[in-house]
Amino acid sequence: MQETILITGGAGFIGSNFVLEWLEQSTGPLVNVDSLTYAGNLRNLEPVAARREYSFVRADICDRARMDQLLQEHQPRAIVHFAAESHVDRSIVGPEAFVETNVRGTFVLLEAARAYWNSLPRENQPKFRFLHVSTDEVYGSLGADDPAFRETTPYAPNSPYSATKAASDHLVRAYFHTYGLPTIITNCSNNYGPYHFPEKLIPLMITHALAGKPLPVYGDGLNVRDWLYVGDHCAALRLVLERGRPGETYNIGGRNERSNRQVVEAICEILDELQPASPHCPHKQLIQFVKDRPGHDRRYAIDATKLERELGWQARETFSTGLRKTVQWYLDHPEWTSDVLSGAYQEWIDRNYKQRSQDGAHSDPDGQQRSHECEG
Ligand code: NAD
Ligand code: DAU
């Protein structure tokens, strides 16, 4: 067994951030296995592409023979499994790809990992780790006064996305209990930061606001998410990989609950400040309330006490410092955004938002006009 780790989905949002930080800290060789769906972008990894400790393999996690071959070839000490279909709205429009990658793909990877692990010398088997990167959405939706999700909260997924992630979590758990494969599951809240694909709330609002396009807030905008800067998630994953206990689950979250309205307004305020000469100032005038997401979970909140107490993890970014960094990153990387806004992505935007606007977009759910001046 080598010092190498093998990760899946490393060309996506969180995976890219994980790879860049891993190699920046010279933590050891890393093999990135990604099939490059619309969400995978090798440009994110250009800074490390030539590094000796890094290699990229284009492969689908559903391809069992390929997974077997890669594990035998690289002899990793751990697998960190990010690869997934990750967008809730897409899962509502087309759930099949989610079942394929999130459920069957995770199953195939687990089977390949089990065969590889069985082939290891006995003394190396306890050192191996299968770290499954999952989501808080498996716990379902909270009421306003409910306590935050704990590791013991029963699963109650509500979207095809969260149902397939829940199914994958159950498989990972079963492989520990049944076969002894040293698996660990992490369930994290909403991430944001650099390289976030602009179909998700925060990058979509930033890129739309910069272009003077409407900012489509679903429903009344009072759904709450618990935001975590992506670098804090990656730090937690490194810690769990080194010191987490096999068979355990760790919740990861930043204790940064915000309603979607608060998030969008905060983005607008930062842009007003950083781009005072923009013709789109005040950016809040671009907000439009549109038809809600079906089955829209009302509130997520993570109780990360176990991770904090057992492994000493603490988020470094507050929502305000993390959001400012993120907006600045999009301002500094316009070419990254224009590159990913390809024809295929435009088709998705047209499909997702056309229907919502036909159902009557308006600028405020109470029908009130908004008037804000740019500051600075
Ligand atoms: P993403 O959609 O940005 O990236 C997913 C990556 O997986 C892409 O590079 C894609 O090409 C790759 N991929 C998809 N199907 C594949 C397949 N069959 N074989 C190989 N590669 C494949 O996702 P993300 O936001 O970076 O999320 C990564 C993981 O973290 C996911 O498992 C997600 O469920 C989980 N997660 C995400 C968040 C969040 O807020 N984004 C929060 C908690 C957990
Ligand atoms: O909680 C973790 C999860 O967070 C991850 O597992 C998912 O992979 C990730 O996509 C994210 O899921 P959400 O559905 O919470 O994220 P999204 O960015 O799609 O939406 C965040 C909130 O913003 C949600 O309440 C829906 C709302 N929204 C989203 C979009 C894209 C809008 O109001 N308008 C929009 O245009």
Q: What is the pLDDT of residues 93-126, one digit of tens each?
A: 999 999 999 999 999 999 999 999 999 999 999 9
The reply to whether 272 belongs to the active site is no
**Ligand 1 environment, Cβ below 6 A:** 8-9, 11-15, 34-37, 39-40, 60-62, 82-84, 86, 101, 105, 133-135, 165, 188, 190-191, 197
**Long-range pairs for 169-175 at CB < 8 Å and ≥24 separation?**
169/132, 169/134, 169/138, 169/249, 171/103, 171/106, 171/107, 171/110, 172/106, 172/110, 172/130, 172/132, 173/247, 173/249, 175/110, 175/113, 175/114, 175/130
pLDDT of 366 reads 42
Average pLDDT in the chain: 93
pLDDT cut 90: percent of the chain above it: 88
Domain 5-193+227-252 fold: Rossmann fold (3.40.50)
| Cα(269) to centroid(ligand 2), Å | 20
Q: How confident is the model at residue 134 (pLDDT cuts 50, 70, 90)?
A: very high
Residue 140 has pLDDT above 60, yes or no: yes
pLDDT digits (tens, 9 = 90+) for 167-187: 999 999 999 999 999 999 999
Residue 253 has pLDDT above 50, yes or no: yes
Q: CB-side exposure of 157: number of CA atoms within 13 Å? A: 20
Residue 356 has pLDDT above 80, yes or no: no
Kindly report the number of other CB atoms within 10 A of residue 280's CB atom: 18
pLDDT of 352 reads 79
The reply to whether 136 belongs to the active site is yes
Phi/psi class of residue 28: alpha, beta or left (left: φ > 0; alpha: ψ in -120 to 50)? left
Domain locations in the chain?
5-193+227-252
Residue 233 has pLDDT above 70, yes or no: yes
DSSP secondary structure code for residue 373 in this structure: P
Q: How confident is the model at residue 301 (pLDDT cuts 50, 70, 90)?
A: very high
Written as one string, the DSSP assignment of 148-211 is PB-TTSPP---SHHHHHHHHHHHHHHHHHHHH---EEEEEE--EESTT--TTSHHHHHHHHHHH
Among 102-106, 133-137, 365-369, the least confident range: 365-369
pLDDT of 27 reads 80
What's the pTM value of the predicted model, to 2 decimals?
A: 0.94
Residue 330 has pLDDT above 80, yes or no: yes
Residue 346 has pLDDT above 70, yes or no: no
Residue that is written with structure tokens 């095809």 in the block: 160
pLDDT of 345 reads 64
Whose C-alpha lies nearest to ligand 1, atom 41? 191
pLDDT of 363 reads 54
Question: Rounded to 5 degrees, what angle do the CA atoms 261, 266, 272 make?
Answer: 125
Ligand 2 closest atom vs CA 135: 6
Residue 10 has pLDDT above 90, yes or no: yes
**Ligand 2 environment, Cβ below 6 A:** 86-88, 135-137, 189-190, 200-201, 204, 216-218, 223, 225, 260, 293, 300
pLDDT of 370 reads 33
Averaged pLDDT for residues 17-30: 94
Whose C-alpha lies nearest to ligand 2, atom 11? 190
Residue 192 has pLDDT above 70, yes or no: yes
Residue 367 has pLDDT above 80, yes or no: no
Higher pLDDT, 206 or 356: 206
| Cα(88) to centroid(ligand 2), Å | 7
